[in-house]
Amino acid sequence: MGRLDYLAYIKERMPQKRYMHTLGVEETAMKLAKHYGASVEAAQTAAILHDVAKYADVAWMEQIVRDEQLDMRLIGWGSELLHGPVAAVIATREFGITDEDVLNAMRYHTTGRANMSNLEKILYVADMLEPNRQFPGVDELREMMYDDLNDVLEACVKHSLTHLIASGIAVFPQSIECYNDLMSSERNL
C-alpha cells in the first residue's frame, strides 16, 4: 500500500476540487517536512489521507465516534469537525496505518490541539496554505511558511479562530485549547 493506492481510494470519495486541494496539501506538507526536519514520508501519507472522510455520511461518522470511543464532544458538530478523527480510523482500517504521529496529524488537522507535534503543525499549516487556497491574508501567511513553524502555526490558528468568531461560528474546545497553548508557551519563553 502506497501513494497510488491512497490516491485511487480518495479520488472516488471527493470532488475534483477537493482532490486538487489534497495534492496541494501533499506538496506543501512534504516541502515543510523537508525544511523543518520531519519525516517527508509521514507528512505525505498524512496529507494524502487527511480529507478522506470529508464527504462521508455524518451519521456513519458519528457511529464511528461511538464505536471507537473517540471524543464524544464531536457529536453534533458535523462533517467539518468529524472528518479529521474519522480519517485516522479509515487510515488504520483500510491501509493498516498505525503510526500515531501520522494518525494524530490527520485527527487534528482541522481543530489543532494543545501540544502539537511538528508533523501535526506541518499538516495544519499545509492544509491552510497549499497553493489552491485563496482567502484574504493567505499571501502574508504563505510568506511566513519557511521562517518558523511555530510562528506560522500561531498566525494560522489566530486567523482561523478570528474568522470563526467574526462569522458567528462556534469554536470547538480543542481549537481554544490549541490557541491557549500557543499563547501560554509564548509567555513561558
Interacting residues toward Fe ion by CB under 5 A: 51, 127
76 and 135 Cβ atoms separated by less than 8 Å: no
62 vs 127 by CB, closer to Fe ion? 127
Q: How far is the CB of 81 from Fe ion (least distance, A)?
A: 10
Q: Which three cell numbers stand for residue 57?
A: 455520511
19 and 130 Cβ atoms separated by less than 8 Å: no
169 vs 183 by CB, closer to Fe ion? 169
Q: How far is the CB of 186 from Fe ion (least distance, A)?
A: 26
State the Cα–Cα distance between residues 70 and 62, nearest whole angstrom. 9
The CA-based dihedral angle spanning residues 105, 116, 114, 175, taken in that order and rounded to the nearest 10 degrees: -40
120 vs 127 by CB, closer to Fe ion? 127
State the Cα–Cα distance between residues 130 and 62, nearest whole angstrom. 29
Q: How far is the CB of 187 from Fe ion (least distance, A)?
A: 30
Q: How far is the CB of 109 from Fe ion (least distance, A)?
A: 6
Look at the block and give the residue holding cell 496541494: 24
134 vs 188 by CB, closer to Fe ion? 134
State the Cα–Cα distance between residues 138 and 118, nearest whole angstrom. 21
Q: How many CB atoms lie within 10 A of CB 78?
A: 12
103 vs 189 by CB, closer to Fe ion? 103
